[in-house]
Structures are given as C-alpha cells and as structure tokens.
Amino acid sequence: MKTHIGTFLSIGSSAVTELAAECGFDWVLIDLEHGCESEAALPDQLRALRGSDTLAIVRVSAPHPDLIARVLDWGAQGIMVPHVNTVAEARHCVDAAYYPPQGHRGVSRTVRAYGYGMRLPDGAMPKPIILAQIETADAVANAGQIAAVEGIDALFIGPADLSFDLKAQQSPRSYDDCVSSIVNAAKDQGKGCGILVRHADDKEKLKALGFTWIAMDSDLSLVREGFKRNLATARAW
C-alpha cells in the first residue's frame, strides 16, 4: 500500500497551501477543527491546489452532513472527521459524504467540484476519501469495527487527544499499545492508517509499523519553531 506524505495546514493562508503543493506533498490537511481557517475562506485554499497533484483533505470540525457536503462540493478530495468513536458514527460520516445508494449526500452538478457544471462526471460519481480519527480509548476498542465500515479509507490517530483521553480515563493500556492495536485493526480490514508526526526521525519507524498516511508536522509549528530558532540566534550575537 502506498505511503502518502502530507502536512497539516492551520494558518489559513492560501499562499502556504500553494507552497505546500509546490514542494510536492502528496496531500495536505486543511484544518477546520483547530486551524485559523474559516469555512467561507476554504474555496480559496482549494483553488491554491489547482493544477497540482496534491490531494486536498479537509478536517471538518464535526460530522455535520451539511458541512461535509459543502466541503466536498467545493472540491476537496476527501475529509478527515475527528472523534469517530463507534461504528454508528463511522457510518454517519460515510452517509454524509456519499451519494445514493451508499449515502444521502445531495447531488448538484453545478458546484465547484464539477467545474460549476463544465466538468460533469463521466459515469460513476467520484468517491471521497474518508479518514476517521481514532482519539479515545473507546475508539481504540472499536477500531476494527470502524475500519470495517465500507467507505472508511483509513484510521487516523490523533496523538494529543488519544494521549489525553487515556490519562483522563486512567486506562490500563499504554499509548504505544493502542497505536499498535489501531494499525493492526486497519491492516486486518485492508485499510490505511495515519498519524501526525512532529519529528522527522520518527517517520521510518512509523512507516515500518504500517502507517500509510503520514502528516509531517504543521505549517504553524514550523513557523513557530523557525521564529524561535532565528530569534535565539539573533539574540546570541
């Protein structure tokens, strides 16, 4: 299974999005959950990727069917949904993202995804990519069943939320054990598995575990660390 290397975009700048595509990332995550981007400004972010091979994945703030449909109508190739804890929630995501008969997404051939009516699908409607975030102890326990849902393409671990939830729930399971369990659940169903990586040195280890959707850091973190490093250098003069 191909390894997709991407990055998280939180700043909300279409210039940064365009730069990420120019650099050759396989995918970018435009973040409507924690990022500075507004829903209304999302189309400009997607336009910045036009003509590139970089996939646009949008993390919606919640699995609202109207939001999921708008994001895909505006031209995103896929969505990431936070806090998918149960099979029912996974099916809800698929139902919102897919056209009938698999789902209940409304059909409009004049949306940006189809060139405002100039690029109508030839044959079957395109299938969206759906990444379900596994971020709680409950989600870990249900990971195999979530991965088995038709239409879910990958499980994506949220390291910060998962670590926080395991501590809050005083779970006897370690974080590393949960990570291995999620990867194996995805493998068993022939699905991908992803994670956000803060340190480049971790990439090969995670790839060896079986991760196929790897997000290397975020634009906000890279700018922050660059500012801190340059400031420390300048003050040392």
Catalytic residues: 34
Distance between CA 106 and CA 70 in Å, rounded? 10
Q: What is the pLDDT of residues 169-183, one digit of tens each?
A: 898 999 999 999 999
Distance between CA 10 and CA 93 in Å, rounded? 22
Q: What is the pLDDT of residues 196-225, one digit of tens each?
A: 998 777 767 777 888 999 999 999 999 999
Task: Provide the mean pLDDT of the chain.
Answer: 94
**pLDDT for res 124:** 82
**pLDDT for res 121:** 83
Q: What is the pLDDT of residues 74-118, one digit of tens each?
A: 999 999 999 999 999 999 999 999 999 999 999 999 999 999 999
**pLDDT for res 158:** 92
With 0-12 CB in 10 A as exposed, 13-18 as middle and 19+ as buried, what is 109?
middle
Instruction: Please tell me whether the peptide bond between 101 and the residue prior to it is cis, using omega within 30 degrees of 0.
Output: yes
> Which percentage of the chain shows pLDDT scores above 70?
99
Residue 152 reports pLDDT greater than 90: yes
- Amino acid identity for residue 194 in this structure: G
Residue 136 reports pLDDT greater than 90: yes
**Domain annotation for the chain: domains and CATH numbers:** 4-235 (3.20.20.60)
**pLDDT for res 37:** 84
**pLDDT for res 67:** 97
**pLDDT for res 190:** 97
**pLDDT for res 207:** 75
